[in-house]
Amino acid sequence: MIPKDHPRYDSLMAREKITEGVEKGITGIMGLIAQGRGEAFDYLIGEKTTQSALQAEKTAAAMLLLAEKPVISVNGNVAALVPSGIIELGRIVDAPLEVNIFYRTEERAEKITQHLHSHGAARIYTKRDAGIPGINHERGKVDSGGIFCADVVLVPLEDGDRCKALVDMGKTVITIDLNPLSRTAQTATLTIVDNITRAIPAISGFALELKNKKQDELHAIIREFDNKKNLAESIDGITAHLRHLTQQSPK
Ligand code: PTJ
């Protein structure tokens, strides 16, 4: 049992959820490595949502609200870390979920689907009857009624090839990735450099705030956002945080 006042409570809880996910057969073993990499970047960021991430989260909410056919892609790490959060976000922006995993086994895909249903998910795309052009591995197979025909796709903790292929299909691709240098972060239409455990509730919060705004206002938020500039600010944020830490450390 991790005490709530432990200075790294959130990070340790995330570890527990991921290891529990592996034990239940929801999260792949590679998910542990991905989590470790994410943790390292979160440490560099300062384990908090930065101003640039908040800007990206608000823009993501506007994009999802304006979408005609938004879909949220769920993999083994996402299902373990934020099952209720993505279901709630899907409900607010009217986006069904689609289970799409990189290290695919039918058994794990089915367990993730059941896990999401047990948390209250209503609509989950599970068919794999369409292919993303240019992606030959398992993750290229998607639901013809889901990701394949979506106009806006939220793909957190994604692999670079598929992110690029979805952008090449003309979709608006939103990703959440703690590593601002990853291929996914660099190729998505909109990159949120934040921990998914903080990003999903933040996007939901903005979506609730923006839900009743006029479409023009939502378009203006998207127009004003520059992903390249925001990514550069995220990298600058890491440098500034490290400088702050070195200035604080005893000489
Ligand atoms: O369940 P599967 O088979 O689809 O596999 C999922 C993983 C995540 C294992 C798979 O997609 C993978 O190997 O991903 P990568 O290539 O390791 O990329 C994951 C990215 O997500 C890395 O850049 C990490 O820094 C980042 N990341 C990891 N944990 C978090 C994160 N970003 C935000 N929040 C996190 N908690």
| Digit-coded pLDDT (tens) for 148-159 | 999 999 999 998
Please indicate, yes or no, if residue 40 is contained in any of the structural domains. no
How much distance in Å is there from the Cα of 247 to the middle of ligand 1? 32
pLDDT of amino acid 251: 57
Residue 128, helix vs strand vs coil: coil
| Digit-coded pLDDT (tens) for 139-181 | 789 999 999 999 999 999 998 899 999 999 999 999 999 999 9
Please indicate, yes or no, if residue 244 is contained in any of the structural domains. no
Please indicate, yes or no, if residue 97 is contained in any of the structural domains. yes
**CA-closest candidate to residue 46, choices 81, 77, 2, 7:** 7
Which residue out of 157, 164, 183 has the highest number of ligand 1 atoms within 8 Å of its CB and is therefore the one to mutate?
Answer: 157
Q: Which pTM was predicted?
A: 0.96
* Phi, psi angles (nearest 5°) of residue 60: -60, -40
> What is the count of structural domains for the chain?
1
Domain at 233, CATH number: 3.40.50.12640
Q: Which amino acid is at 61?
A: A
Q: Is the CB of 76 under 6 A from ligand 1?
A: yes
Q: Is the pLDDT reported for residue 1 higher than 80? A: no
Whole-angstrom Cα distance, residue 171 to residue 108?
27
Please indicate, yes or no, if residue 57 is contained in any of the structural domains. yes
| Digit-coded pLDDT (tens) for 54-106 | 999 999 999 999 999 999 999 999 999 999 999 999 999 999 999 999 988 99
Which residue's CA is the nearest one to ligand 1's atom 1? 76
Please indicate, yes or no, if residue 25 is contained in any of the structural domains. no
Q: Is the CB of 176 under 6 A from ligand 1?
A: yes
Which residue's CA is the nearest one to ligand 1's atom 11? 158
pLDDT of amino acid 250: 64
Please indicate, yes or no, if residue 182 is contained in any of the structural domains. yes
How much distance in Å is there from the Cα of 54 to the middle of ligand 1? 20
pLDDT band per the 50, 70, 90 thresholds, residue 194: very high
- Please give the residue range of the domain that contains residue 206: 51-239
Please indicate, yes or no, if residue 204 is contained in any of the structural domains. yes
Q: Is the CB of 159 under 6 A from ligand 1?
A: yes
